[in-house]
Structure 1
Amino acid sequence: MRFGKIDYLNLLPFETFVRAYPKPSHFQLFYNKKKSYPAKLNREFLFGRIDAGFVSSITALRARRERFWASQVGIVARKEVLSVICLPKEKGEDYQSATSNALLKVLGLKGRVLIGDRALVEVLKQKSNHQKDYVDLGKFWVKKEHLPFVFGRLCVKKNHSFYKKLFIL
């Protein structure tokens, strides 16, 4: 029952759901044990160190080949996200998110990606200085493709029936 958890503000609705939903005590023990950033959880999941968790949508594409279940529950952007941004004047990739780095390339943008709390801090800092020198990747994708962008999906390797019952009603 090792669950990999992304500890970012944009997963607060999921966190609220899990806390309110009745669950076995053995799941609760492991739910808060493996907290990390998305790229590390991808590796942990693929190497079998966690049984379930939110992994990048790119990793979820391997579901059939790698023999795991990718659910329809995900982290989806339909408008402005503010927790996944590109700083056009800087260079470099974000070590925390493979999906966001790939999205930057697909959109044809140049710059440095920031995700999670670091992105929110940067946005708030720029707003307090009355400037906007960043590109919101979720908003940019929707504007360009007219589709929501799926950053990550809940994937399961072991205990499929338990997770299906818990997360998919």
Structure 2
Amino acid sequence: MIIGKIEYINLLPFHVFLKKRLRTPADKKAWMYHQGVPSAINKKFQKGKVEAAMVSSIVSKKYRCSDFGIVADKKVLSVLVCPGKTLPDQASDTSNILAKILKMQGEVVIGDRALQRRKKQKCQDLAALWYEKFGLPFVFARFCYRKKGKQYEKLAKAFLQSRIKIPTYIMRTYKKRSGLSSREINEYLTLIRYNVGIREKQSLKKFLKLAKKIHK
């Protein structure tokens, strides 16, 4: 297995799951080697450097994907548009397009950086704005694969059926890295869903349709 790794808090439960699931030293080494922000992992996946990854929704349309994804219903806190000059977040692919669809002006900020930024500045939550407009959850990314479909579908299904408890030592690492408290991290994780069901697929279809219009 060669899986791309995005070091964001919203994938922390999956990281804990994979640490136990990856059996061989080679698999673990590959997972640790292929790390990066979403836009970087998208490129690695598209070039075939990784077999599977959590791929931005805007990129996922061209690939086979499981029902495991990054989903937010009503709000997410980690995908924002903040006051100031209109700027994309270089770490993102999907969120920059989402901001354009919602006609939001300002700086797009995603991931753990956004969780800190929202404490210092009044920013708009893009998942909340999407929900207000369409009444649907937003799918930011999907777990997609280029090969070994049965193996990766089985992995995704196993994760969705699991109940993950984050070990104290891992939580301590993420607290130090993000500057957030354990309570803030846990509260944030309650906003993240991982199952891409009927409503999520409906939302994804709508997003991709609107994104296509922007690129015309």
TM > 0.5: yes
Gaps of 5+ in 1: 64-68, 127-132
Given the alignment of the two structures, is residue 166 of structure 1 paired with residue 166 of structure 2, yes or no? no
Identical counterparts, % of pairs: 41
Alpha-carbon distance in structure 2 between the residues aligned to 1:3 and 1:166: 11
Equivalent position SS for 2:109: strand
1:142 matched residue in structure 2: 131
Aligned-partner Cα distance in 1 for 2:83–2:129: 13
- Which of the pair is proportionally richer in strand? 1
Does 157-166 or 45-54 show the bigger shift? 157-166
SS at structure 1 position matched to 2:35: strand
Q: Following TM superposition, by how much is the alpha carbon of 1:138 offset from its aligned partner in structure 2, in angstroms?
A: 1.0
Alignment of 1:3-14 (within 5 A): 3-14=3-14
Per-residue CA shift, 1:38-64, capped at 9, x if unaligned? 11111111111111100111111112x
- Deviation, 1:18, is 2.4
C-alpha distance in structure 2 between counterparts of 1:14 and 1:144, whole Å? 30
Whole-angstrom distance in 1 between the partners of 2:132 and 2:107? 20
TM-score (norm 1): 0.86
Q: Indicate the residue corresponding to 1:91 in structure 2.
A: 86
Q: Is the 8 A contact 2:55 2:143 kept in 1?
A: yes
Partner of 1:66: none
The whole-number CA distance in structure 2 between the counterparts of 1:146 and 1:87 is 23
Q: 1:29: which partner in 2? A: 29
Equivalent-residue separation in structure 1 for 2:153 and 2:27 (angstroms): 14
What stretches of structure 2 of length at least 5 have no aligned partner? Answer: 159-216
Map of 2:119 onto structure 1 = 124
Q: Deviations over 1:66-121 (max 9, x none)?
A: xxx21111000102211111013232111110100000001111111001121111
Q: Which amino acid aligns with 2:151?
A: F
Aligned length: 157
Q: CA-atom RMSD, angstroms?
A: 1.5
Residue 101 of structure 2 is matched in structure 1 by: 106
Task: Note the 1:21-100 alignment, pairs <5 A.
Answer: 22-25=21-24, 26-63=26-63, 69-100=64-95
Q: Which one has a larger percent helix, Structure 1 or Structure 2?
A: 2
Once residues 151 and 102 of structure 2 are traced to their aligned partners in structure 1, the CA distance between those partners, rounded to angstroms, is: 38
Which aligned runs of 4 or more in structure 1 are off by greater than 3 angstroms?
none
In 1: Cα distance, 2:23 partner to 2:151 partner: 10
**Per-residue CA shift, 1:5-46, capped at 9, x if unaligned?**
1110111222233234x4422422322221101111111111
Using the alignment, how far apart are the partners of 1:82 and 1:120 within structure 2? Answer: 6
TM-score (structure 2 length as normaliser): 0.68
2-structure distance, mates of 1:102, 1:18: 30
What is the CA-CA distance between 1:152 and the residue it aligns to? 0.3
Cα displacement string for residues 116-169 of structure 1 (whole angstroms, at most 9, x for unaligned residues) = 12111111234xxxxxx2001111111211000000000001222221222224
Could you tell me how far apart the structure 2 residues matched to 1:93 and 1:140 are? 17
